[in-house]
Amino acid sequence: MAWDFSTDPDFEQQLEWMRKFVAEEIEPLDLVFRSPAAPFDPASPAAKAMAPLKQEVKSKGLWACHLGPELGGGGFGQLKLGLMNEILGRSRFAPTVFGTQAPDTGNAEILARFGSEEQKQKYLQPLLDGEIVSCYSMTEPQAGSDPGQFTCRARLDGNEWVLDGEKWFASHACIAEFLIVMAISDPDVKVHEGSTMIIVPKGTPGMEIIRNTAVGPKDEIDEGVHGYIRFTNCRVPENSRLGPAGEGFKVAQSRLGGGRIHHAMRTVGMLNKAMEYMKERVVSRQTKGERLADKQMVQEKIADSYTQILQFRLHVLYAAWLLDRDQSYTRPVRREISAIKAAMPGVLQDVVYRALHLHGSLGMSNETPLMDMWQYVPEMGIVDGPTEVHKIVVAKDILRDVKPSDGVFPSYHTPTQREAARAKFAAYLD
C-alpha cells in the first residue's frame, strides 16, 4: 500500500517556519500597502519593505521553488508547491516575497523552455531574481479567453514581427519590463496551428495601454493593474518569437496547469483564513442568551465549511500528486486540474458567504478582510478559463471511453441482471 497523507518531517519544519514567517512578517504588509500594484511593482514603497524578507526566504532555500536548481529554484514538485501555496494564499504579498507570483512564474517557465540564450540572459535571470516584472497578454476584449475568437494579428515583415489588434486584462502590463503576447500569425488555419508567442519590450512604439482595469469597484477607473492594450503597427525583431511560429498555443498550454494548482492551493489558504475568522466569531458572540457556537444552524455552517475545505484541499493535492507522478499533462492530470478549477469558486463562495453572514454588518464592512475575499469569488470563476469550460473538459474526459448499452434497457437493468444471476447460481436454486 502506497497511500500516505503525511508530510516529510524535514519539509514539515520548513512549512512551520513559513506559517510563522507569513503570519508575522508578511501579512502585516496587506494592512499598510493597499495599492493593487503594491505587491508587484519594483518601484513601489512596498518593494523596499519586501527586500529583506526576500533575502530571508532565499537564505532558507525557499525562493522560486517552482523552478529547477539549474534555474536558481528549489526544484520542488507540485505536491510540495501545493503545501507551500496553501500558506502563501494568506497574503497578497507572500507569493512575491517567495518569488512565486503570477504571471511571472508562468512566464519564467516559458522563457526557460522556449527562450533563446539571448532572451534568457535579458529577461529570465532578472525575472528569477525578482528585479523586474513581466506580463502575459493573451485575452482579448471581444473574445475573453477563447482563442478561436482572437483577432490580434502578428505578421512577419522581413526580419520583424508586426502586431496589430487589442488585448484585454493583461496583468501588470503597466509595470512590466516586457510582455509575452499571443497573436494570430496565420488566420487561415485553426488557432492551435496559427498562433505565435512574441516578446514585446516595455516602451515599444505602437503599443498603447488604453487604460488599466482593477477587480471590483473599490479602485477608481484606470487605477488597476490589468491592462487594456492596443497594438498599432507595433514592430519587434523576428528573434522576439518564443517557440516555433504557429505553435503559440502549445507554448501557452505549457504554463497553465501548474499555475492552476497553485491558484487553487492559495485559495485553500484564503478558505482557512475565513474559517479561522468564523470560528473565533461564533465562540465570541452571544445572542438570545447563548453563544452563536451553540446554535444548531451555526454549527451546520461550521461543519459544512470544514467538510468543503477539506474535500477541496485533498482534491487539489491529489491533482498535484498526479502531475508529479506523470511529469506531464496527461489525460488524468488535465481532468483533475479542470475539476479543481471548476470547484474553486463554488467552495470559496459558500465558505466566505457563511463567514460574512456570521459576522453580520461587521462582515460586510471594510473593517474585516472578508469583503476583500468576497471579490475573489467571481474572479476565480473566470481567470485561467471560465468554470463552464473546465466542467466541459471534465465531462468529456469522463464520458470518452464509456460504451453505450447494446439493447433497449441499460446494462444494469435489474430484471436482465437477475435472470443472468439465476442462471449462474442455478445449481443452488430449487
Asked whether residue 154 carries a pLDDT value surpassing 80, the answer given is yes
Percent of the chain with pLDDT over 70: 98
C-alpha cell at 205: 512604439
- Residue 16 — very low, low, confident or very high, per pLDDT cuts 50/70/90? very high
Is 80 exceeded by the pLDDT of residue 217?
no
pLDDT surpassing 70 at residue 379: yes
| Residues 181 and 198: beta-carbon distance below 8 Å | yes
Nearest in space to 348 (alpha carbons), one of 274, 281, 242: 274
Q: Please give the CATH superfamily to which domain 253-399 belongs.
A: Butyryl-CoA Dehydrogenase, subunit A, domain 3 (1.20.140.10)
How far does CA 338 lie from the centroid of its chain?
11
Is 134 in contact with 179 (CB distance < 8 Å)? yes
pLDDT bracket for residue 256 (50, 70, 90): low
- Calculate mean pLDDT across residues 381-407: 92
Report the candidate in 380, 318, 375 with the shortest Cα–Cα distance to residue 4.
Answer: 318
pLDDT at residue 20, rounded to an integer: 98
**Is 107:255 a contact under the CB 8 Å cutoff?**
yes
In terms of Cα–Cα distance, which of 225, 223, 211 is closest to 175? Answer: 225
C-alpha cell at 73: 529554484
CB 62 within 8 A of CB 26: no
Tens of pLDDT along 105-146? 889 889 988 999 999 999 998 998 889 999 999 999 998 778
For the stretch 27-51, pLDDT in tens is 999 999 998 899 999 999 999 999 9
pLDDT band per the 50, 70, 90 thresholds, residue 73: low
Angle between helices 78-88 and 9-21 (to 10 degrees): 20
Write down the pLDDT at residue 430: 75
Among residues 65, 178, 84, 208, the alpha carbon closest in space to that of 128 is found at: 65
- Domain extent listing, the chain: 9-115, 134-242, 253-399
* The three grid cell numbers given for residue 26, joined into one nine-digit string: 508578511
Fold of 9-115: Butyryl-Coa Dehydrogenase, subunit A; domain 1 (1.10.540)
pLDDT at 218: 72
Distance CA 77, CA 85 (A): 12
| Helix residue spans in 179-247 (DSSP H) | 191-194
Superfamily of domain 134-242: Butyryl-CoA Dehydrogenase, subunit A, domain 2 (2.40.110.10)
User: Would you state the torsion angle of the CA atoms of residues 217, 220, 226, 232, taken in this order, to the nearest 10 degrees?
Assistant: 130
Q: Look at residue 328 in the predicted model and tell me its pLDDT.
A: 85
Residue 254 has pLDDT above 80, yes or no: no
Range scoring the smallest mean pLDDT among 30-44, 240-254, 302-316, 390-404: 240-254
Please compute the mean of the pLDDT values over residues 365-388 and round it to a whole number.
91
Under DSSP, is residue 154 helix (H, G, I), strand (E, B) or coil?
Answer: strand
pLDDT at 64 over 90: no
- Taken as a whole, the chain contains a residue count of 430
Band of residue 253 on the pLDDT scale cut at 50, 70, 90: confident
Has residue 290 got a pLDDT over 90? yes
Confidence at residue 71, expressed as pLDDT on a 0 to 100 scale:
65
Answer whether residue 23 shows pLDDT above 70: yes
Q: With cut-offs at 50, 70 and 90, classify the pLDDT of residue 92.
A: very high
Output the pLDDT for position 257: 61
| pLDDT exceeds cutoff 90 at 215 | no
- pLDDT value at position 416? 93
In the structure grid, which three cell numbers stand for residue 276, read together? Answer: 479561522
| Greater model confidence, 148 or 428 | 428
Q: What SS3 state is found at 237?
A: strand
